[in-house]
């Protein structure tokens, strides 16, 4: 695990973008494609600001979601909807490069359909992402894996529905640890004083919280700014 400390949010965006640039280019050079999983929340802003400036072959990107809210695509809560409005127009990415959840169905149906789409895209049910871009909530959740939730113990489903998310909206689909910890690279990008206490509990005290359980086969990076790293 590598912890990378940066001064502030702007430096975090630059550092995160440089990691994504390198990992995307290595993946494309080695395997011809770049499979990346995106998160929602504050990460959206970092990626929409930073990624348009990177040097990469956008046509080789395949983008999926570490978690997604089961809401209409035009809802403010839709993670894909936000990238569709704020990232696609600033890059050469096209909508059909995103693996999105089915609209107008339950979380359970959306999770099943999303699993099938990922299986088709990877041509296998071993979803080996080159990079997962992760956020962490102030309660230590990552993806839609919340403290104390039974989904933390899920070992069969790779993509699970959740209908009781403590953070709204309640209905979501999420990657589970068998997929997260199978990734070649995972990066957490965390900024701001509101995350400082939880960063201490996870990175210093090593408490058993959802974000602590991210231990991929590949590399794990935590990029944290000074405000978030205050108690480290």
Ligand X SMILES: O=C1O[C@H](COP(=O)(O)O)[C@@H](O)[C@H](O)[C@H]1O
Choose the stretch contacting ligand X; rule: CB under 6 A; options: 29-37, 85-93, 112-120, 136-144: 136-144
Distances (CA, A) of 69 to 8, 130, 149, 171, 222: 29, 23, 17, 6, 24
Site residue total, ligand X (CB under 6 A) = 12
Count, residues in the chain? 232
Task: Report yes or no: 152 and 210 within 8 Å, Cβ to Cβ.
Answer: yes
Supply 168's token pair. Answer: 């709204």
Among 37, 50, 81, 135, binds ligand X (CB under 6 A): 135
Q: Considering the complex, what minimum distance in angstroms separates the CB of residue 216 from ligand X?
A: 16
Choose the stretch contacting ligand X; rule: CB under 6 A; options: 35-43, 102-110, 123-131, 222-230: 35-43
Q: Which residues partner with 159 through β-bridges?
A: 175
What is the bridge-based pairing of β-strands 219-225 and 2-6? Answer: parallel
Among 40, 161, 210, 216, binds ligand X (CB under 6 A): 40
Q: Which residues contact 45 (CB under 8 A, 6 or more apart)?
A: none
Supply 225's token pair. Answer: 């700014």
41 makes contact with ligand X (CB under 6 A): yes
Q: Which residues partner with 145 through β-bridges?
A: 142
Torsion of CA 86, 87, 92, 97, to 10 degrees: -110
Among 49, 67, 130, 225, binds ligand X (CB under 6 A): 67
Among 17, 27, 39, 115, binds ligand X (CB under 6 A): 39
Of 123 and 164, the one with the shorter C-beta distance to ligand X is: 164
Question: Within 137-176, which residues bind ligand X (CB under 6 A)?
Answer: 137, 142, 144, 167
Among 17, 24, 42, 82, binds ligand X (CB under 6 A): 42
List contacts with ligand X (CB under 6 A). 39-43, 66-67, 135, 137, 142, 144, 167
């Amino acid at each position: 695990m590598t912890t990378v400390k940066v001064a502030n949010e702007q430096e975090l965006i630059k550092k995160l973008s440089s990691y994504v640039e390198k990992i995307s280019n290595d993946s494309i050079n080695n395997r011809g494609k770049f499979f990346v999983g995106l998160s929602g929340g504050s990460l959206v802003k970092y990626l929409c600001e930073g990624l348009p400036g990177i040097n990469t072959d956008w046509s080789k990107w395949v983008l999926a979601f570490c978690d997604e809210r089961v809401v209409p695509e035009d809802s403010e809560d839709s993670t894909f909807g936000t990238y569709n409005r704020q990232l696609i127009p600033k890059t050469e990415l096209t909508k059909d490069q995103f693996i999105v959840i089915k609209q107008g169905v339950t979380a359970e149906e959306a999770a099943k359909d999303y699993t099938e789409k990922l299986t088709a895209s990877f041509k296998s049910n071993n979803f080996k992402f080159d990079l997962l871009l992760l956020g962490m909530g102030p309660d230590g959740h990552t993806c839609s894996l919340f403290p104390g939730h039974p989904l933390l113990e899920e070992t069969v489903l790779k993509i699970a529905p959740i209908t009781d998310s403590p953070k709204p909206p309640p209905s979501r689909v999420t990657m589970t640890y068998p997929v997260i910890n199978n990734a070649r690279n995972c990066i957490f990008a965390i900024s701001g004083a509101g995350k400082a206490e939880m960063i201490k509990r996870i990175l210093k005290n090593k408490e058993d919280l959802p974000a602590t359980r991210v231990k991929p086969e590949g590399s794990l990076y935590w990029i944290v700014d000074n405000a978030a790293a205050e108690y480290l």
